[in-house]
Structure 1
Amino acid sequence: MMKSLAAAKMSSSVYPFTSREEVKRRNARAVKAFDLQRLEIRSLKYSNFDDNGGDVLAVVTFDQESDRGCACDGAPWPDVQIRMSRDKLLSLGSSKIAGMFDDRRQRLYRRRWGSKSLPPGIEYILDFTPPSEGAELADLTAALWLPRMVKLWFLAGHYEPNEVLAIGPDPTGFQTRPLANMAVGAVLALGHDDICKAPNCPLDFSYWEVQTVPGIVGDDSPSSQSAPRHIPDFRKVDDYCRIRHRAAVMRVLHAINGKDLLLNSATRMWTVAQVAIYLEVPNVVVGPVTQWLLAEPNTKFMEICPEKAYQLALALRIPGVLIHTFKIMVNENAIDLATTNPSPRLPPVTWAQRRRDDYGDFPSDAIEYASRAMVERMSANLAMLRADDVFERLPVKIGEWEKMRHLGALIEQFPACDLKSAYNALSEATIAAFHGLVGRTLEFRLPDNYFGDLLRYQRTHYVPESELLDLADLYKKLEATQRSLTPFFWESLRRADVIVAFGSSFYNGKTLSMLATEFKDLLWEARDILKLSGHHMDMDMYTFQNTVMFDHTKFFAQLMSAVKVLCLDILHPKTDELSELSGLRYVLSDHLLLTLDEKEMNYLPLWAGGLDDGSGGVFQDAIPPAEMGPSEPGPGYHTGYTIASETDTETMGYASTTTPSDLGFGGLDIGDTSTVRSMDAEQSASSGLPRNRVIAAPSVSSETFSADYAEYADAMFLVPAHHQAHGQALASYVENYGDHDAASQITESATMTATDMEDGSSEEAQGDEDMEFFFEDDMDLSDDGSSTLDGFEDASDDSATLS
């Protein structure tokens, strides 16, 4: 009789399988997981039809398959009929389910049902059987296609990490990360596929026990050819399985009816979640999926495969999971983007050798935007540390350096002297010493002590032993900006002893202490000169040193304090409300800098604590101040100018009803003369003006309000307000040409129909192209509130553009 791989390892057993009693003595949780699996399968296959009242018959059929496959109970899957409530189904808000109640769909379902009589009380039939072909099946197959890590996650139920993970980065022995060193429980990770390929599964309990595996990695590593396989054949599930798909639909339907949803494997979790998302009923599964992801130590799934966890969290709206995974991917991507010559596409593995996965395509990728923002922020911090004015830009004021700068301002007033030379030498040496400290910290090599072991054992979760490289060597390959995006640089800088580092620094053959002493002596000698700046001659040496002189020992202490504040603010911000919201602990990511700032977190959706409301505004730059102010309430800004001309209603064939808001200036492509999106601009192009200049009617020319009426003239030439650019132009225009008739004459000569353009008559008007409007210096532009032309603007020269 053929033995399973797991049973073969149990050499002490005299049976071809491991009995329930034998397993229970070693691991009661394995037996519990097995019992839950059997109960769940029984409830799916043989549920009582009348358990749930309702007027809907939900059907899932398996008869389209030549091989129905067997579950863990050894029996094939039967066709399933579930009684449901129409009101409950419609209350879910799913357009897909609501569409199934359409009369045409109902006739189709009843034809499929045939001549069989419906159970009593049933008024509707809903066939939830997945399609067997077509575009819908292709979409479903793509959504339910199992990611690599999802297929491998059963290994998390067998892999037992090193004990060092439970202690965390603090080697004092204080256990800060409980369960981090434990294998994921069988109830969460060791469930089988819905087509069970395990021999003797109904009898052999060893499948649910912890085995010895090298990590949560596949057999596809280069060394696996000679090494023993750790993935049994029955665990090599199909990427997509129709039986698994149908079983997941059944689980979602039972969950809608209020039944418990058992997610005991990553395969089942992923499939059930995708089915619920496709049916537009994510709220039905969000609770169980969230519990599966947040149950420690199963939280490692989010750190090993953050892309797929992020994808689920975004679709199911799980804030904590979204934040947790967002931080991981942002920092990893930022490190790759910070290189001098970044690749157009991110490498398949991160700098720490974690294998990347896909997390979907988005019009605006929040992770990419946040990654670039993080690069900018950390690059700015590093540039600040390397700048000559670093001591003035640190987050904590350095009193001694402020005193030094004040002395420098006094000394600078006098001609060249030994005191000025000493001041310059001490200042330059102090700045150079700090820059040297930053440079040495950037060259910091990761320690090969306890912390190095911790990082190694964290990465052995997901990197095969044969491919695992020393993280210190990987860190050495990073550029300076990339290193500033890791916690190692800031932790090393925080722990640096400034006094020791500065005490060993030399400048022109002298230590900082020697330069400081020389400066003090010269400063004391120059106290007569300093008296001119408000200091008193009767000041004793002690008082003079404490109030006037630069004390380099105090400076070192103050600088060390300021640097620590900066580093701690980057490593451990005082207030991280979003981390508190997630309530999750990282146990495999000590090599990442996961403290994002407010700007970077703002790319998250509103429901996750960010500012992305779906409008796309969070991904755009802020609107610059408009020179003329907003043209209307809201985002409508007119920052350029347009030239006014009257629309010929006879040529247009209708009265223009265009308003300032309707023009949509923000959508115009001013630089492209081949495309004009404004009908008014296209059909009433003025002679002598480029076609990409907007020609806006100053008012509505109609039978009731036209240029021939006195009311129109009064409105045209009322005194405009300061922000009414078009009114200003017209007022100046009247000043130059005298009366309304002249203005009308010039306006008419500048107006041309599309027909005139085709006849070539535009050549005659080229002389008007450079016409400009001039304002009189003494013109009264105060706003009396009477202008009816608010919102139009004047394009007085060819360089004016619209924004």
Structure 2
Amino acid sequence: MLSQQLAQQRAESQEHPPSTDPTPVPQGSLIDAAIDQLLKEQFGEDDVDYNLKSREKSDLTRLLHVHVECNHGDTLVIVNFPSGYLSCSREEWTSKRFLVHSEKLLATGSKIFADLLSPAKQDRLLKRIKLTGDTISSKFVIDLTPSAEGDDLAAQLIDLSLPPGVTNWWMSKERLRISQYLVSGHDDHCPHHEEVPVDCNKKDTYVPRQQGPSEHLPSIDLDEIETSEPRNIVDYCPVRHRVNIIRLILAIEGYDLVLNSAPRVYTLTSIANILDCTSVIRDSVYTWLLAEPNTDFIDINTEVAFKIAWTLGIDSITRAAFRILVVEKALDTLATLPPVQKDRYTIFGRPRVDLPDDLQTVVQYASQKLVDRVQQTLAQLKSDQFYNIFDILEYKKFIEAGDVIRTALSANSSPNDTLSTSNPDPLRHRLLDELLISFNALFKKLLEYKGWILQKAMGAVDGYHRQSDYDRDRRCYVELPRRAPGSLLISNFSEAQHLLTPWFWEHIASCPTDRDGPYFPDRFLAECVDDFNDRGIRAAMYLSRGSHEKFANLFDFHLENFRNELHSALINLWSTWTKRDLEVPLARTKHLIVALTEEEFQYLPLWAGGLNDGSGGVFQSTVPDADLGPIGPGPAYRTGNTVATDTSSICQSDKTPSEVSTATMTAGRSVNAVPSNAGESTVHDDISVSDSRVSFTPAASTLALADTIAGEDSDDYESIESDEIDEEAWSQVEEPLT
């Protein structure tokens, strides 16, 4: 009976007084909490002042005898346990009844606790308890026992089931040299405590490796590890679920929260989310993820880290994990052929786990934005306008010289004599014609040099000095049977995929200064440059229109200036694409370009530095303005011709939304008058390929939205089969004011 259990608990509490100095929950910013927690936890195992092992023992003792530890408060917490489950101390887990303070529960801001403590819920629960013949002396009572059936149970099973990377993270203690007090903790259902290993069981084929203290490499490969049965914990455990509910409540009360394993961190995060009190554990989980080298958890179990950080609202880790997921998804999209088992493994072999639908949508939209940026950049690099992308003065001067040559050739006589256009100067025509030929030869040679730069960068991985380092990093998560060399994987990359690798940008930036290479610009372009400069001097008198000095510099191509300016421009481009500016250390993803822009980050929530405010606006395309305004009233509303308002990502409009004015037509309709940079006319005859973004095919999201609206309207409005409006309907329309 409940009353008898409470009486027994009071008697035990007199024998074992509660702790009067519980460790308070860290307050303040995340970084302050992380520093405080790290200073408290990162002592050596032999430190007599603070024994981490004693924390684990205290945690277990407190949970087993929580009714003794927590016997003060106005709220009785009930957590019922199934029978037959043992703890690490060989004690059986039994149902728990303990007291906490309602004001601390409500201080979390949890809507769940507020609902459970509401008069309506309290009356219902107390009536149910009274039917069993029990009496309760506390002011409030809440039953946090998980549902045994129904939709709630199914949802919680999904949220609390451990992914494989979480279950196996205990091996990182030996493999990645992570403290055992962060990753080696036992499961809450632990019937064979003495048999649970701390280190991995090695196969007979294992050979110890020697490595320096500065090397951060796995000491043992995954395929060299034998299965350890006591470490094969189940995906979902009802005892693990209940014990961590109690841990969470104790953390609210201010007791020490011990995070000694990835399963515990993952389970507590899910439970805190279910109970709407994630702020209680945010600082502790943040500290656990940033305790180096445990940051490898973000690189290797990226989806899990992203989900945990998103759930707890940890902005830095959310952004860091998001970078990896977006780039990996973009690599899949840019592949020439669909990657094998892309749902299970990334292109570089990292095991994947499923994300919730809302998080998957965010990653998909951002990766498509990155794909668009990559394809646009590649098109620019491959086009004849390659040098126009950069501010290379020497090249601009060269192009201007070509315009001057063609202008001069279009005239039939020399500007320096009085001959009529019917008597052209043969020498002038020959010199200018030869100069134009030389100009075209140099222009072609410059494009050839650009093509070689791209070709060399695309194939750079074969001799890349850091590729072996990247392959060693991949050993952290790829077993030997699946571990193809990185150079082999990249040899099958499409051109666009190369732009998401660091070696592509490193080589494209270093090409102009490769003095030992066969295509050093001072050698490769020298012959054509000399010929162009010589012919420019000879033809100068026919180009200067009486002012020889005006064109003296125009027809003097300086190779050194061109090389230096090109190198500087490529260095800036390299920096733009590769500058990581990471929020947290990512040691295992150096083989990926993770320098996202705000265009990709916009899909993150506001608290993570994105623009996603929950309205769904960031996922919708810009709605075009109506050119002719509405035609017809009421449900039959339809627009006239429309014009797209999206601007090119290369040439953005310098107008802000505040500069959009509203003009009123004489018919009384209001339309937006949007200022344009195009001058008097927005119609051009020389539309380039880059203007092909304008499309008359509605986006998939727009079609889906239209279907949704149509479905909703069908419940409230009659279906309109035609755009024709009868005279009676028109008669209801007011005439515009004159």
Query: Is there any run of 5+ residues in structure 1 with no aligned partner, and where?
Result: 1-24, 161-182, 632-636, 643-659, 702-706, 708-714, 720-803
Pair 437,448 (structure 1): closer, same or farther in 2 beyond 3 Å: closer
Deviation at 1:621, TM superposition (A): 1.5
Pair 479,347 (structure 1): closer, same or farther in 2 beyond 3 Å: farther
Match runs of 1:296-695 below 5 Å: 296-342=292-338, 346-362=342-358, 365-394=361-390, 397-415=391-409, 417-447=433-463, 449=465, 451-497=466-512, 500=515, 504=519, 512-532=525-545, 535-536=547-548, 539=549, 546=553, 548-572=555-579, 579=582, 582=583, 584-627=584-627, 639-640=639-640, 677=713, 682=718, 691-692=722-723
Deviation at 1:526, TM superposition (A): 0.6
Distance in 1, Cα, partners of 2:716 & 2:494: 55
User: Counterpart in 1 of 2:65?
Assistant: 46
User: Counterpart in 2 of 1:200?
Assistant: 194
Q: Check conservation: 1:330, 1:371, Cα contact below 8 A.
A: yes
Deviation at 1:628, TM superposition (A): 5.5
Deviation at 1:265, TM superposition (A): 0.3
Deviation at 1:527, TM superposition (A): 1.2
Pair 199,313 (structure 1): closer, same or farther in 2 beyond 3 Å: closer
Deviation at 1:132, TM superposition (A): 2.4
Determine if the alignment matches structure 1 residue 34 to structure 2 residue 65: no
2:382 maps to a residue whose letter is R
User: Counterpart in 2 of 1:131?
Assistant: 147
Query: Is there any run of 5+ residues in structure 2 with no aligned partner, and where?
Result: 1-42, 207-216, 410-431, 632-636, 643-668, 671-701
1:433 maps to a residue whose letter is Y
- CA deviations 1:598-636 (Å, max 9, x no partner) are 1011111111000011111111122323336799xxxxx
Distance in 1, Cα, partners of 2:709 & 2:590: 55
Q: Check conservation: 1:571, 1:595, Cα contact below 8 A.
A: yes
Distance in 2, Cα, partners of 1:696 & 1:670: 28
User: Counterpart in 2 of 1:145?
Assistant: 161
Pair 670,553 (structure 1): closer, same or farther in 2 beyond 3 Å: closer
Secondary structure of the structure 2 residue equivalent to 1:365: helix
Q: Check conservation: 1:186, 1:264, Cα contact below 8 A.
A: yes
TM score, norm. by length of structure 2: 0.73
Deviation at 1:467, TM superposition (A): 2.8
Q: Check conservation: 1:373, 1:600, Cα contact below 8 A.
A: yes
Pair 492,87 (structure 1): closer, same or farther in 2 beyond 3 Å: same
2:104 maps to a residue whose letter is K
1:283 maps to a residue whose letter is S
Distance in 1, Cα, partners of 2:469 & 2:380: 32
Q: Check conservation: 2:629, 2:640, Cα contact below 8 A.
A: no
- CA deviations 1:548-579 (Å, max 9, x no partner) are 42223321222122111111121117xx5xx4
Distance in 2, Cα, partners of 1:233 & 1:285: 31
Distance in 2, Cα, partners of 1:464 & 1:498: 40
Determine if the alignment matches structure 1 residue 256 to structure 2 residue 263: no
User: Counterpart in 1 of 2:185?
Assistant: 191
Pair 373,108 (structure 1): closer, same or farther in 2 beyond 3 Å: same
Deviation at 1:638, TM superposition (A): 7.7
Secondary structure of the structure 2 residue equivalent to 1:59: strand
2:158 maps to a residue whose letter is A
Distance in 1, Cα, partners of 2:309 & 2:173: 23
Distance in 1, Cα, partners of 2:577 & 2:96: 56
Secondary structure of the structure 1 residue equivalent to 2:460: coil
1:195 maps to a residue whose letter is H
Deviation at 1:445, TM superposition (A): 2.3
Distance in 2, Cα, partners of 1:439 & 1:237: 51
- CA deviations 1:285-318 (Å, max 9, x no partner) are 2222222112211111111011011111222111
- CA deviations 1:308-341 (Å, max 9, x no partner) are 1111122211111110100000011101101234
Secondary structure of the structure 2 residue equivalent to 1:129: coil
Pair 382,669 (structure 1): closer, same or farther in 2 beyond 3 Å: closer
Secondary structure of the structure 2 residue equivalent to 1:603: coil
Deviation at 1:699, TM superposition (A): 8.9
Pair 307,29 (structure 1): closer, same or farther in 2 beyond 3 Å: farther
Secondary structure of the structure 2 residue equivalent to 1:531: coil
Distance in 1, Cα, partners of 2:703 & 2:304: 37
1:402 maps to a residue whose letter is K
Distance in 2, Cα, partners of 1:668 & 1:375: 23
Distance in 2, Cα, partners of 1:667 & 1:452: 45
Secondary structure of the structure 2 residue equivalent to 1:362: helix
2:480 maps to a residue whose letter is E
Q: Check conservation: 1:269, 1:289, Cα contact below 8 A.
A: yes
- CA deviations 1:669-727 (Å, max 9, x no partner) are 999999894899858x7xxxx614577988995xxxxx9xxxxxxx62632xxxxxxxx
- Structure showing greater Rg: 1
- CA deviations 1:371-425 (Å, max 9, x no partner) are 111111112112111110111112xx11111110111001012447111111111
Q: Check conservation: 1:370, 1:603, Cα contact below 8 A.
A: yes
Pair 502,667 (structure 1): closer, same or farther in 2 beyond 3 Å: closer
Distance in 1, Cα, partners of 2:178 & 2:306: 20
Q: Check conservation: 1:188, 1:265, Cα contact below 8 A.
A: yes
Distance in 1, Cα, partners of 2:360 & 2:349: 27
Deviation at 1:70, TM superposition (A): 2.1
1:474 maps to a residue whose letter is L
Deviates more, 1:692-701 or 1:306-315: 692-701
TM score, norm. by length of structure 1: 0.67
- CA deviations 1:495-521 (Å, max 9, x no partner) are 223564996489xxx952111111111
Distance in 2, Cα, partners of 1:53 & 1:670: 58
Deviation at 1:94, TM superposition (A): 3.3
Pair 113,329 (structure 1): closer, same or farther in 2 beyond 3 Å: farther
User: Counterpart in 2 of 1:653?
Assistant: none
Secondary structure of the structure 1 residue equivalent to 2:407: coil
Deviation at 1:454, TM superposition (A): 1.9
Q: Check conservation: 1:45, 1:77, Cα contact below 8 A.
A: yes
Distance in 2, Cα, partners of 1:26 & 1:209: 18
How many residues get paired?
A: 597
Distance in 2, Cα, partners of 1:277 & 1:407: 67
Distance in 1, Cα, partners of 2:130 & 2:166: 37
User: Counterpart in 2 of 1:284?
Assistant: 280
Distance in 2, Cα, partners of 1:670 & 1:314: 30
Deviates more, 1:557-566 or 1:146-155: 557-566
Equivalent in 73, 77, 85 of residue 58 of structure 1: 77
Q: Check conservation: 1:672, 1:692, Cα contact below 8 A.
A: no
Q: Check conservation: 1:106, 1:125, Cα contact below 8 A.
A: no
Distance in 2, Cα, partners of 1:314 & 1:321: 8
Q: Check conservation: 2:626, 2:641, Cα contact below 8 A.
A: no
Distance in 2, Cα, partners of 1:244 & 1:499: 60
Pair 499,522 (structure 1): closer, same or farther in 2 beyond 3 Å: farther
Secondary structure of the structure 1 residue equivalent to 2:543: helix
Q: Check conservation: 1:60, 1:128, Cα contact below 8 A.
A: yes
